[in-house]
Amino acid sequence: LSSSSAASDVYKRQAELVMCYVLAVSGENEEALSRLANLKQRDPTNFNILKSVNEIAILTGQRQLRGANRDDLRQVSTRGLVYTLSSDAAGQWAQGNFAQADRLLDEAFATGQPNKACYLVRLLVLAFGWGDLPAARAFLDQVPAVLLLEDVFIHHATRILLYSGEYDRALATIRKTEREMLQDSRVVMPKGALTGSVHQAGGNLNAALNEWRRALALVDEKLSHDPNNSHWMYWRANLLALLGEPEAARAQKALLDELNDTAVGSRAWAREFRFYLSLGEHDEAVDRIGTLFESELPGLLPREYNNIRSDPFYSELRQDPRIQVILSQFEVKLQQLRAVTP
C-alpha cells in the first residue's frame, strides 16, 4: 500500500509539473511560478522539480530566479551539478565560447556521471566548433550505444562521417533509424534529405534523387496540414532545388521570403547561400557568404565555416579564390579562439 501511495505521489507531482509548463507556455507566468514555488517548498531537494524551475525560469525570463535555483541544483546532487554544468556548456557553445564550453564539460565528465547533453555538446564543439573531425570521430566511440540510436546523435554522427569522406559508414549510421523524420533536440528534418547528401557525395546521384523525392513527399504532407510553416517551406524550396526544379524552387522560396519578410543583407538572407548553390547560382551564393562572414555572429560563423570547409557539397565552391580568402581569414580567428584560456 505504501509503495502504491508513493507511485501515486510521483504521478501527481509529474502532472503538476506538466501543468506548470503549460501555464508558462501559455503566458500565465505568475501562476506557473507560484505553483512551482509550492512544489519546491514541499520537496526542496527533488531534482525534477529543481530542473523544471530552471527551465521555466528561462521560459519566463526570470534570470534572478534561475540563478538562485542553479545554486540549489548544484548542491542537491551530482546529477544536479552535471545538469547545470552541461546547460552552461550548451550556452557557451551557442555563443561561440568553445574553450569555456570545454572547461565546463571537463568538470562534468570528471564527476563520472555525464548526461546526454554532455556528450552532445562535446561532439558539437569538437566537430562544428573547433572543426576537429578526427577528434570528433574518436569521441563517437565514447558515446554510450543507447545515445547513438537517438535522432540527434544519428544526425550529427552522419554529418561527421560525411564530412570525413566515410560515406559507407555515414549511410550505415543514418540507417540505424527506421523513422523517416529525424526529430530530436533541434534536429527536425526528413531523413532522406541527409541520406541523399551522402549518396550525392559518394557519386550515386540516382540514389540521392530517390531519397530527396521521398523527403519532398514527407515535407509536402507536413505542409498539407500547416501550409504556412516556414520550416517546412524552407525544406521544400531546398529539396526542389536539389531535384533540379528551379522554377518551383524559386516560387517556394519567394513565398517563404514574403512570409518571413526577409530583408536583403540580413542574416537570414545571407544564410540562404546553400539554396542558391543548389540552383547552380554560384556568384549569388558567394555574395551571400561574403555578407554573412562580414557580420559579428560568434556562435554561428564557426559552424558555417566548418560546414563550408568540410562538406563535400561545397567542394567546387572551395575552389573559388573569394571563398578561399574568407576561409583563411576565419581560420585565423578560430586559431585565436583556440588560444583562449578560460
H helices, E strands: number in the chain: 19, 2
Say whether pLDDT at 229 is over 70: yes
How high is the pLDDT of residue 342?
A: 52
DSSP, residue by residue, 160-195: HHHHTT-HHHHHHHHTT---SEEEETTEEEEHHHHH
**Is 291 buried (19+), middle (13-18) or exposed (0-12) by CB count in 10 A?**
middle
pLDDT tens readout for residues 90-109 = 999 999 999 999 999 999 99
Mean pLDDT, residues 205-210 = 98
C-alpha to C-alpha distance for 258 and 84, rounded to whole angstroms: 40
Mean pLDDT, residues 254-276 = 95
Mean pLDDT, residues 28-35 = 92
Say whether pLDDT at 2 is over 70: no
How high is the pLDDT of residue 19?
A: 94
The whole-model pTM stands at: 0.91
Residue (of 264, 220, 263, 270) closest to 245 by Cα position: 220
How high is the pLDDT of residue 297?
A: 84
pLDDT tens readout for residues 296-321 = 888 899 999 999 999 999 999 999 99
DSSP, residue by residue, 80-145: HHHHHHHHHHHHHHHTT-HHHHHHHHHHHHHTT---HHHHHHHHHIIIIIS--HHHHHHHHTTS-T
Per-residue pLDDT band for 1 (boundaries 50, 70, 90) equals: very low
How high is the pLDDT of residue 5?
A: 65
Say whether pLDDT at 192 is over 70: yes
Please state, for a pLDDT cut of 70, what percent of the chain lies above it: 97
Say whether pLDDT at 64 is over 90: no
How high is the pLDDT of residue 111?
A: 98
Q: Nearest 5°: phi and psi at 187?
A: -95, 105
Where is pLDDT greater, at 9 or 108? Answer: 108
Mean pLDDT of the chain: 94
C-alpha cell at 169: 559508414
Residue (of 284, 261, 257, 258) closest to 273 by Cα position: 284
How high is the pLDDT of residue 241?
A: 98
How high is the pLDDT of residue 338?
A: 81
Per-residue pLDDT band for 225 (boundaries 50, 70, 90) equals: very high
How high is the pLDDT of residue 9?
A: 78
